[in-house]
């Protein structure tokens, strides 16, 4: 795809710019409840111990923490990310009965066909249909098609940059049409412009999580923290024949940070 074709596709998919550019994601089901972290002033994130194949683990950890950190301590907003201990195993999944983690991991061998092609990263949210409460948010980076880095070098996808964007999704923000916003839908290897929030991003955050609404408590992931992909307890009954998932837990592969990649013509 040429750059022109890519940009044309973007234009075709975006609605006309509203007066307010930031967008809160909603449930797919009517009446489209807005997604949000509920009853907690934090969202605990868990980094997989494997990190990225491209960067030393401690560098990955620092860049990931920096990416989440840009959303912390925004004046007028109460929500913040916390980092749990590193996980020996984490998956993009939500266990209705069992412990969970908001997993941050790289996919190095397979970027699934059902994920957006050319996606740099993907945030998958499980939410409560009834009220849009975010039950689980997992972030996966595409290590199959991209090389990652931490210094904005051309040809490398910056981890801080990408994490800052996906972190916004984990908090319930969808893509923004604001020029330069961290929540704009596209980036490219070497891009570091998403590292810092713009006024549009912070407006969205403070509108969804206004300081006056601080619940004053920081909750663990649903069912407790799971750092090793522990399965649900055997006695939960959730594996019995005929057991159905609760109707309120549906995964939403929310949005990928799509790549703007230039290909030379032969």
**Shortest distance (Å) from residue 196 CB to Zn ion:** 17
Q: Which residues contact 160 (CB under 8 A, 6 or more apart)?
A: 63, 64, 66, 67, 150, 192, 195
- 255 binds Zn ion per the rule CB under 5 A: yes
**Shortest distance (Å) from residue 205 CB to Zn ion:** 15
Indicate the residue among 205 and 257 with the shorter CB distance to Zn ion: 257
- 120 binds Zn ion per the rule CB under 5 A: no
**Shortest distance (Å) from residue 59 CB to Zn ion:** 23
Strand partners, 173: 24
Q: What residue ranges in the chain does DSSP mark as E strands?
A: 23-24, 42-47, 80-83, 103-107, 119-128, 134-142, 148-149, 157-158, 173-174, 186-187, 249-259
Are 191 and 12 a contacting pair, CB within 8 Å? Answer: no
- 121 binds Zn ion per the rule CB under 5 A: no
Backbone φ, ψ for residue 161 (5° rounding): -55, -50
**Shortest distance (Å) from residue 39 CB to Zn ion:** 25
Q: Residue with the closest Cβ to Zn ion?
A: 255
- Site size toward Zn ion, by CB under 5 A: 2
Cis preceding-peptide flag for 31 (omega within 30 of 0): yes
Indicate the residue among 70 and 257 with the shorter CB distance to Zn ion: 257
Instruction: Please count the CA atoms within 13 angstroms of the CA of 111 that sit on its side-chain side.
Output: 19
Indicate the residue among 118 and 255 with the shorter CB distance to Zn ion: 255
Contact residue for Zn ion among 25, 135, 257, 259 (CB under 5 A) = 257
Stretch that binds Zn ion, among 42-50, 144-152, 233-241, 254-262 (CB under 5 A): 254-262
Q: Which residues contact 5 (CB under 8 A, 6 or more apart)?
A: none
Site string for Zn ion, 202-241 (x = CB under 5 A): ----------------------------------------
Q: Which residues contact 130 (CB under 8 A, 6 or more apart)?
A: 33, 248
Stretch that binds Zn ion, among 37-45, 138-146, 206-214, 250-258 (CB under 5 A): 250-258
Indicate the residue among 46 and 255 with the shorter CB distance to Zn ion: 255
- Helix then strand then coil, in percent of the chain rounded to 5, is 20, 25, 55
**Shortest distance (Å) from residue 178 CB to Zn ion:** 13
**Shortest distance (Å) from residue 75 CB to Zn ion:** 24
User: How far is residue 50's CA from residue 53's CA, in Å, rounded to a whole number?
Assistant: 8
Indicate the residue among 119 and 223 with the shorter CB distance to Zn ion: 119
Q: Which residues contact 64 (CB under 8 A, 6 or more apart)?
A: 45, 47, 104, 159, 160, 163
Stretch that binds Zn ion, among 19-27, 36-44, 59-67, 255-263 (CB under 5 A): 255-263
Which positions touch Zn ion (CB under 5 A)? Answer: 255, 257
């Amino acid at each position: 795809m040429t750059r022109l074709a890519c940009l044309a596709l973007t234009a075709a998919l975006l609605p006309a710019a509203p007066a307010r550019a930031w967008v809160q994601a909603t449930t797919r089901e009517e009446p489209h409840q807005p997604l949000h972290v509920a009853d907690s002033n934090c969202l605990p994130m868990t980094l997989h111990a494997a990190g990225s194949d491209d960067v030393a683990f401690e560098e990955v950890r620092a860049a990931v923490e920096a990416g989440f950190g840009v959303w912390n301590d925004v004046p007028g907003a109460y929500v913040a990310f916390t980092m749990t201990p590193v996980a020996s195993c984490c998956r993009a999944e939500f266990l209705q009965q069992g412990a969970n983690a908001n997993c941050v991991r790289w996919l190095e061998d397979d970027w699934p066909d059902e994920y957006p092609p050319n996606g740099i990263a993907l945030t998958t949210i499980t939410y409560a249909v009834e009220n849009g409460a975010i039950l689980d948010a997992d972030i996966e980076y595409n290590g199959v098609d991209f090389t990652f880095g931490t210094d904005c070098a051309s040809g490398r996808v910056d981890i801080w940059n990408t994490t800052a964007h996906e972190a916004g999704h984990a908090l319930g923000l969808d893509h923004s049409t604001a020029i330069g916003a961290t929540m704009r839908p596209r980036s490219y290897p070497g891009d570091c412009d998403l590292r810092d929030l713009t006024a549009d991003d912070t407006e969205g955050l403070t509108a969804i999580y206004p300081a006056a609404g601080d619940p004053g408590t920081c909750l663990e992931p649903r069912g407790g923290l799971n750092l090793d992909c522990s399965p649900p307890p055997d006695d939960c009954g959730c594996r019995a024949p005929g057991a159905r998932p609760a109707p309120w837990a549906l995964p939403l592969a929310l949005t990928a940070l799509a790549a703007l990649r230039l290909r030379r013509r032969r």
